[in-house]
Amino acid sequence: MPKVLPAGVAAAAFASAMKEFQGVVGADWVFTSDADVDTYRDAYSPLWNEPNEYVPSAAVAPETVEQVQALVRIANRYKLPLYPVSTGKNLAYGSSAPCYSGSVVLDLKRMNRVLKVDDKRNFALVEPGVSYFDLYRYIQERGLKVWIDVPDPGWGSPVGNALDHGVGYTASPFRDHFGSHCGMEVVTPTGEIIRTGMGALPNADSWQDYRYGVGPWVDGLFGQGNFGIVTKMGFWLFPQPEAMGRATVSVSRYADLGPLIEVLNYLEDSMLMNGMQNWSSPAGGGVGQPKPAEFSALMANGWPTDEQIEAYVRAHGGVAWQVRLHFYGTEKIIRATCECAEERLRQAIPAVTFELDEVLKLPPTPEQARTHESQPNADHLGVPNMITYASMSRHPNDPEPPQGHLDMFCISPRTAQGIMQINRILYETERQLSLPTNASPFRVPNHWYHRCYMMPGMMTPTYRDDTPDRSTKNRRSRQIYETALKNLTDAGFGLYRTALGMQDLLVNQYSFGDHALLRFQEAMKDAIDPNGIVAPGRYSIWPKRLRDQRRPNGLDAPVAALNQKEGGKA
Amino acid sequence: MASRPRDPAIAPTLIGRRSFLQAGASAAVMPLVGIAHWLPAPPAATNSASRIQFHKVLFDRDHPAALAFGRAGQAAGLPVEPVGADVTALWRDLTLRWRQERVAMAGLTTEPVALYLQLFAQDAGLRLVFRASHTPLSDGRVRHYLSGPRATLQHAALLDTGEGWPLGSLALLCRCAANLAAKTALTRTSPPSRAPAFPQERLVSWVLAPVARNQYGHNI
């Protein structure tokens, strides 16, 4: 018997459903033993081994879309929730664990076919089980002249990552993985197959060329949603550029941040600069790196004034902000664009330093490839890797280090004010929670999405069984994460996605018009998925029969209705 | 036990001269000479048909305890290999290998590396059959939290050797069977080390192995 069954599904009915599942996919591909089902747990869960940890009842792994249809029809008969995952390795956001305990994980890893890669029209069509490593290898083995854009987890799936609104590192249109998709095939909650965009037109050869087709464009419903199971997805690819340029811009004053961002916005929005910005603050030091004693002094009496910060910068190397810019194109264009960028920057900030560090001709030589593929540059060259994970692998001074973490990134407009406001909120949150000061006036944004910044929030640690006081620590982790989430969203800085278990809380903050958006989504859910079998609870979209499962005020707060009192902010 | 020629991978040029010397210093007080005595006899000499043959035995290339583990593994003829924090290359290698055959792996690594490899391995149909975390305590002792087959954990006293626990850990891995049915857990604490203290960093020893489905079957 599974550890937990979904509401309304009796043990006998569950067993019967599993037998029917076996009839569809074969006995080898229905997983019900503890040893197998445990592989679908969230290793970073802040509820690890606690009664309310999100765990599945079973898993089933289809190989074809027809099998997915058949499984969905069976699930409808038993009202048995299915939770689709692609490669299921989205650590820090829930991995393979479902939003609703007792759901059966619909593991799509066996659907791992690269259906098409076209390096004349520059697109790919893949199934959900294809990983970035797989797609990269497919392209390399055939010598195709296109790049993929990769996120931090090279073991992830382009389909899964895009559907979770994941991001990457190359040129701006491609870093937005959902934004650069074109065309989907979806099994609906009632078991039909739909194809979006031009895929709906029989005989059309433009499914991966024109995304809208005619009528309302529904693809957005399937991102962070539960309106269907995506079984194929097209992606626009980056034609292999001739060169990549990297330039470093440095400014001396803390107050230069605003003018610097304004020029970068111009360069980016006018499409002169198509690569990513990598920000740092040499004076402020890196996140998580030891800070000099003077830094503690700077923060000792509350948030420092601008004058104090400027003095600190002058005393610590005199470079307040630094941003490494990336340019893709031909060498001539890159060099000309850099000249233009430098001129613009100098007009705005006369003391700016602009250095063109490198123009790397592509494809790289084997020697360059070895160098670049083993460094963070791999991301900017579209080479899948696990390098970011390596940065989390060592804890030389902590005998009981965290065993996981919950990711938190919030959306900021591309302004100095937004960045500074978020840093200040994080600082106040640390004081509110009596945490050591980690926030700083020098924390810098990430530039994955090209029309906004994503600021790191509280990367909250989690623990598993071999930490003696794990439950206490995890409870504290939940408190930290939830407090930071609320403080940021109260000020209008929303997270772009969130960890498993925190989705109700996050969605509850998006409350305009008394949660009109969520009510609209729920109305659609009830119409499209009347039995509520596809991923109930994902991003707080609960089917009618399970709406009492919503935890809009946090995992340790009593279950309650949406926060009506604070809702309706306009 | 899989055997292969002594692997020059455990060479100063690959694992770093400084680390290698540190490992030598630590291992000097360990019963390395007697490692063969610690390890179980080769499969041919036992009736342990279910004993696991390892494709690779990984060890963290920077931690002195893991280096001692690697040296002992090499001395025992195991297919040892150093691993750093970035598992990208290992992933590429294992993905291709596991597509041909579900080969078992073991190691003493940092905890994140152990987890990433576990997640890789699960996709190939392997399972974590043994795991032990080794947490240094402030008084010099090391706390071991073990989870694995009951028959393997019966030998947990192999860890009660102060600074010799990496060898004890290796010996436990070599006694591990791919048996999920009789899994249990226990905590054990090694006495304080007389050797220079290991870094205050938790390591994990682990075994990933293919498990016959009919061993744990379907429970419906």
Are A253 and A283 found together in one domain?
Answer: yes
Are A233 and A250 found together in one domain?
Answer: no
- Six-digit token string for A261: 């961002």
Helix/strand/coil for B204: strand
Pair A57, A14: CB distance under 8 Å? yes
Residue B200 lies in a domain: yes
Q: Which of A440, A475, A494 is the last residue of a domain?
A: A494
Q: Inter-chain contact B133–A396, Cβ cutoff 8 Å?
A: no
Tell me what pLDDT residue A127 has: 98
Q: Is B125 on the interface with A (CB under 8 A)?
A: no
Q: Highest mean pLDDT: which of A86-90, A110-114, A462-466, B30-34?
A: A110-114
In this predicted model, what pLDDT tens digit does every residue of B75-123 receive, in sequence order? 999 999 999 988 988 988 898 899 889 999 999 999 999 999 999 999 8
Residue B103 lies in a domain: yes
Per-residue pLDDT band at A35 (split at 50, 70, 90): confident
User: A200-214, B24-38, B44-58: which range is least confident on average?
Assistant: B24-38
Q: Inter-chain contact B202–A386, Cβ cutoff 8 Å?
A: no
Longest dimension (CA), chain B: 55
Are A38 and A138 found together in one domain?
Answer: no
Q: ipTM of the predicted structure?
A: 0.91
Cα separation, A12 vs A3, whole angstroms: 14
Scanning every residue of chain B, which has its alpha carbon at the shortest distance from the alpha carbon of A86? B123
Residue B219 lies in a domain: no
Structural domain that includes position A297: 241-362
Mean pLDDT confidence for A500-509: 97
Residue A378 lies in a domain: no
Q: Which DSSP string corresponds to A26-55? A: -GGGEE-SHHHHGGGS-TT-TTTTSTT---
Cα separation, A270 vs A265, whole angstroms: 8
Between A107 and A300, the higher pLDDT residue: A107
Q: Which of A61, A87, A107 is the last residue of a domain?
A: A107
Asked if residue B8 has pLDDT above 80, the reply is: no
Contacts of B17 by beta carbon, 8 Å cutoff, 6+ apart: none
Tell me what pLDDT residue B194 has: 65
Cα separation, A238 vs A121, whole angstroms: 10
In this predicted model, what pLDDT tens digit does every residue of B121-138 receive, in sequence order? 998 889 999 999 999 888
Burial of B187 (0-12, 13-18, 19+ CB in 10 A): middle
Q: Inter-chain contact B92–A133, Cβ cutoff 8 Å?
A: yes
Residues of A with CB under 8 A from a CB of B: 1, 14-15, 18-19, 27-28, 30, 32-36, 39, 43, 87, 89, 109, 133, 154-155, 373-374, 384-387, 389-401, 403, 465-466
Q: Is B220 on the interface with A (CB under 8 A)?
A: yes
Residue A173 lies in a domain: yes
Are A419 and A449 found together in one domain?
Answer: yes
**Residue of B112, B113, B127 with shortest CB distance to A35:** B127
What is the pTM assigned to this prediction? 0.91
Task: Measure in Å the smallest separation between the Cα of A8 and chain B Cα atoms.
Answer: 18
The CATH number assigned to the domain holding A298 equals 3.30.70.3450
Per-residue pLDDT band at A240 (split at 50, 70, 90): very high
Pair B113, B87: CB distance under 8 Å? yes
Asked if residue A316 has pLDDT above 70, the reply is: yes
Instruction: Work out how many domains chain A is built from and give that number.
Output: 4
Q: Inter-chain contact A32–B84, Cβ cutoff 8 Å?
A: no
Residue A192 lies in a domain: yes
Tell me what pLDDT residue B28 has: 37
Q: Is B136 on the interface with A (CB under 8 A)?
A: yes
Tell me what pLDDT residue A468 has: 83
Q: Which DSSP string corresponds to A458-480? A: --EEE--TTSTTHHHHHHHHHHH
Are A130 and A228 found together in one domain?
Answer: yes
Q: Inter-chain contact B213–A389, Cβ cutoff 8 Å?
A: no
Q: Inter-chain contact B218–A30, Cβ cutoff 8 Å?
A: yes
Per-residue pLDDT band at A185 (split at 50, 70, 90): very high
Q: Is B201 on the interface with A (CB under 8 A)?
A: yes
Residue A253 lies in a domain: yes
Burial of A504 (0-12, 13-18, 19+ CB in 10 A): buried
Query: Could you say which DSSP state residue B146 is in?
Result: E
Task: Measure in Å the smallest separation between the Cα of B140 and chain A Cα atoms.
Answer: 11
Are A30 and A43 found together in one domain?
Answer: yes
Cα separation, A361 vs B108, whole angstroms: 41
Per-residue pLDDT band at B214 (split at 50, 70, 90): very low
Q: How far apart are the first and last CA of chain B?
A: 36
Per-residue pLDDT band at A395 (split at 50, 70, 90): confident
Cα separation, B214 vs A528, whole angstroms: 40
Tell me what pLDDT residue B78 has: 95
- Six-digit token string for A265: 């916005």
Asked if residue A128 has pLDDT above 70, the reply is: yes
Structural domain that includes position B17: 12-214
Mean pLDDT confidence for B136-142: 87
Q: Inter-chain contact B85–A391, Cβ cutoff 8 Å?
A: yes
User: A65-74, A221-230, B141-150: which range is least confident on average?
Assistant: B141-150
Are A118 and A234 found together in one domain?
Answer: yes
Q: Is B111 on the interface with A (CB under 8 A)?
A: yes
Are A131 and A234 found together in one domain?
Answer: yes
Task: Measure in Å the smallest separation between the Cα of B35 and chain A Cα atoms.
Answer: 27
Task: Measure in Å the smallest separation between the Cα of A189 and chain B Cα atoms.
Answer: 26
Residue type, A71: L
Mean pLDDT confidence for B172-185: 84
- Six-digit token string for B92: 């590429």
Residue A555 lies in a domain: no
Cα separation, B139 vs A256, whole angstroms: 50
Task: Measure in Å the smallest separation between the Cα of B171 and chain A Cα atoms.
Answer: 21
Per-residue pLDDT band at B196 (split at 50, 70, 90): low
Output the CA torsion B211→B216→B218→B220 (10° steps).
Answer: -160
Residue A312 lies in a domain: yes
Residue type, A260: L
Q: In what order do the strands lie in the sheet with A321-329?
A: A277-280, A321-329, A243-251, A353-361
Per-residue pLDDT band at A139 (split at 50, 70, 90): very high
Mean pLDDT confidence for B47-61: 81
From A459, A416, A388, select the one nearest A323 (Cα to Cα).
A416
User: A145-149, B11-15, B129-133: which range is least confident on average?
Assistant: B11-15
Task: Measure in Å the smallest separation between the Cα of B139 and chain A Cα atoms.
Answer: 12
Mutation to test the B interface, candidates A33, A150, A391, most B Cβ within 10 Å: A33
Q: Inter-chain contact A386–B116, Cβ cutoff 8 Å?
A: yes
What are the CA-CA distances from residue A285 to residues A292, A314, A392, A455, B88 (Å)?
9, 14, 18, 16, 28
Helix/strand/coil for A504: helix
Q: Which of A451, A469, A494 is the last residue of a domain?
A: A494
- A19 vs B contacts (CB less than 8 Å): 220
- B88 vs A contacts (CB less than 8 Å): 154, 373-374, 384-387
Residue A387 lies in a domain: no
Cα separation, A162 vs A167, whole angstroms: 8
Query: What's chain A's average pLDDT?
Result: 93
| Alpha helices in A241-361, H assignment, sequence order | 257-269, 293-299, 306-315, 331-348
From A168, A164, A167, A204, select the one nearest A183 (Cα to Cα).
A204
Instruction: Work out how many domains chain B is built from and give that number.
Output: 1
Q: Which residue has the tokens 């048996």?
A: B179
